[in-house]
Amino acid sequence: QVQLVESGGGLVQAGDSLRLSCAASGSTVGTYTMGWFRQAPGKERDFVAAISSSGAGTYYADSVKGRFTISRDNAKNTVYLQMNSLKPEDTDVYYCAAIKYVVTRDSRQYNYWGQGTQVTVSS
């Protein structure tokens, strides 16, 4: 079992930066692919970024490529999402997720989820 807790969300202005953190407990996440997803009320949960267990592979949605950076510190059991040049359309609840071994953008395949952190970007 893996428990995930996101933090770092908040209210910022367009152009600002935020760094989200996802702290894992219950099991080492060193063998898990970690992903970030986001969801607006009434909409599907969209892929944002993923990072392989070693950190060697990173993957991004086209909408955030060049602005967001996913990273991980396996010694701290923590995954980060650095978000720069934020836009109002980035406003969503951001979720951290974990899946063992497989690298995927499909939210339905992730086994473990955090409760989410709200990111609001004002224009």
Please tell me the predicted confidence (pLDDT) of residue 50: 98
Length of the chain, in residues: 123
Which residues of the chain have a pLDDT value below 50?
A: none
- Burial environment of residue 94 by CB neighbours within 10 A (0 to 12, 13 to 18, 19 or more): buried
Q: How far is CA 97 from the centre of its chain?
A: 7
Please tell me the predicted confidence (pLDDT) of residue 27: 77
- Burial environment of residue 108 by CB neighbours within 10 A (0 to 12, 13 to 18, 19 or more): exposed
CB-CB neighbours of 78 under 10 Å:
18
User: Looking at residue 62, what DSSP letter applies?
Assistant: T
